[in-house]
Structure formats: C-alpha cells, structure tokens
Amino acid sequence: MPSSPLVSVVIPSYACANSIPAVLEGLRRQTYSLLEILVVNDCSPDHLEEVLAPFRDQIRYLKNPQNLGLSKTYNQGLRAAHGEYVLTLHSDCVLEPDYIARLVAHLATDPKLGAATGRCRYVNFDELGFNEQLFTLLNRLYVDWRESDTVEEVPFIEGKADLFRRETLERYGYFNETLRLTSEDQDLSAKMRRDGLRLIQDNTCVFTVHYNQTQDSLIKVLRKQRSYAAGQAYVLLTYGSHAVKTSTAARNHRALHRFLQLLTATAVTGSLVLGLFQTAFLWVAFAVLVIRGGEYFLYNRPLPLGKRMLASAIGLAADFFYTTGLIEGTIKTLFKKKV
C-alpha cells in the first residue's frame, strides 16, 4: 500500500469491565499502528469507566444517554468514526498482533470485498462459569475444527471483529437499528451479498473470545436462543437466497444444529398434539426427545457427568426457545413489526 489509511475501531461496551482491558491491550499490540479507538458505553451497569481510566489517552470515549442495544450503539460509534476503514469489535474479543494489518491488506487490494473477518477461538473451556459453558455448547461454539490456513468466502460476518470500508457502511445506512439485539450482522451481510460484494474469513487472522457478563444467567442464555432465531427469521424472509450459503466447517456445523433445533421442537410438538387422538404418537415424541437428548449428551462431553446431564436437558429446552423465536420473528416480519 502506498500509504496506511486510518482504521477506526468501534467497541460497543456493556457489562464488560472484566473483559475490555484485555481487548484494549490487544489493540495496543497491533502491528498496524494508525488506529482510532472509539469505546461507546451503552449505559454499562458495572465499573466500566473505572477500568477505562488507564486507557483514556488512547481512546475516544462516548456514552449513550440511555441503553440503546447493540445496533444503535455500533452506529453511534460508526457515525463518529474518521477512518477510511472501520473495524467493529466486540468488547470481549482480543486480536492477535497482526490481525488488523492482514485484513486491511485484503480490502486494500480487492474492491469487490464488502468485509473481511478472521477466525475466532475461545478461552480455555474449563475456565468458564457454567452459564458461559452452556452458552458455548448450546450455540455450537465449542468445535475444535482445524480450519485450513486459507481465505474462505463466507455468507455473513459475525459481528465480533470485522473490517469494512467506511463508505460501504455509509452506503447501507450502517447497521439495521430495528434489529436491536441480534442479527444486525447477518442483515448487513445479506445486503452486501445481494449487491455482488464478497465476504471473506482469513483463517490466519485469529482473535480470542473472553466472555463478558452477558451470559451470566440461565434465563439470558435461553433468551438469546429466542432472539437469535427471531433475527434469523427476519433475514431469511427479507433476503431469501442472499442469506444462505455454505461456509466453513464450523459455521456449517452450527447451521445444521439450528436446523435440528427446529426439527426437534416441531416433531415433538406435532406428535404431542396428534397424541391427543392416537397415543402411539406420544411414543414418537418420547423417541425424538431421547435421540436429541443423546446427541446433546455426546456433544456436552467436555462437562463433568452431572453438569453434562443438566446441560443436555437445558439443550432440549433451548430447541423450543429457538423455535418459538423463529415463529415470533416470522410473524413480526410478515406484519412489519420491530424484531
């Protein structure tokens, strides 16, 4: 590159006092030095401002007047950004030192790229609390796929650590603010792919997820299943084939898991209803639950036996939360209501 363009890093921050110092230290270690770091406090209930104090001379600090949710908080930072490129970064994702430099090189040489991202890995599973472990397993994030050290085209960026041209985000009006909590990344991705832009994942670029406090209760973990599904229903109904594409091994595995969640809940519910008229269908419902519960039990093997059994039962409940969310998102999309 003849000159290094400014990269603005936008970090929406909520309940992340424990994780954001490592994120900022990771940015400090980047080999790409021309950075503008914007931290947007979405009325975080913890001691966020206190832990940011040592970094205040290195960041631009913005604070929302009220809790706005992820999409609006991202947009607050994006509208204030000055960089030619913008990296949207979650407040629990720590970048490897060459992460930004590698992604900038991709966008600088290919005008048909809409966005570039890297490969995520998760902190030591045994160090997580049970709710964080459960969140990891329910969303099929604990997958030790050995992705090849190649660049792969993907159907959507995942919102964690993605690089865009700022002009591209401006063209699309930034993130969809009607999607307050989830799927804003998939919505933007579908728009770009619809217009012929490609999205890539460079597997040599790595970032590590250190969970913040947004998975600190069982009800939050289950509610996220519902909100994920509602947002995905909106994207699928709005963009059709532009929202679907085969991807990396890990992403394909998660897509299959989502399909099985829907299939399980639908089969069990349908069998229970039919069982009101023919008791044999009750055995069908029981068989589906046993098979799916067994699949959860096998997948939850990183947990000790007692927690493994509990997590498998919660997994079955998550299937119904996810399916309920799909129905909710479908109804809201069809009737033009906020998802």
Domains defined along the chain, listed by start: 7-216 (3.90.550.10)
**Residue 216, pLDDT score:** 65
8 A C-beta contact, residue 75 and residue 175: yes
Burial tier of 6 (Cβ tally within 10 Å: 0-12, 13-18, 19+)? middle
Distance of CA 64 to the CA centre of its chain: 22
Full-model pTM: 0.87
Amino acid identity of residue 137, one-letter, is: L
8 A C-beta contact, residue 63 and residue 35: no
Structure tokens at 276: 């009101």
List, for residues 23-74, the tens digit of each pLDDT value: 999 999 999 999 999 999 999 999 999 999 999 999 999 999 999 999 999 9
Distance of CA 203 to the CA centre of its chain: 17
Amino acid identity of residue 122, one-letter, is: Y
- Give φ, ψ of 92 to 5 degrees: -130, 20
Name the residue among 321, 290, 338 with its Cα closest to residue 135. Answer: 321
Structure tokens at 230: 């509602």
> What's the DSSP call for residue 257?
H
Give the Cα separation of 319 and 195 in Å (integer): 34
HSE, CB side, 13 Å, CA atoms: give it for residue 97: 2
Give the Cα separation of 306 and 6 in Å (integer): 51
Sign, Cα dihedral of 250, 22, 108, 240: positive
As a 3-state breakdown, the chain gives helix, strand, coil percent values, each rounded to 5, of 50, 15, 30
Name the residue among 56, 90, 62, 91 with its Cα closest to residue 77. Answer: 62
Helices within 204-248 (DSSP H only) = 218-239
List, for residues 283-336, the tens digit of each pLDDT value: 999 999 999 999 999 999 989 999 999 999 999 999 999 999 999 999 999 987
Structure tokens at 52: 């940011």
Q: Which of 3-12, 62-71, 136-145, 186-195 has the lowest mean pLDDT?
A: 136-145
Give the Cα separation of 38 and 23 in Å (integer): 12
List, for residues 99-155, the tens digit of each pLDDT value: 999 999 999 999 999 999 998 887 778 888 899 889 989 988 755 555 567 888 988
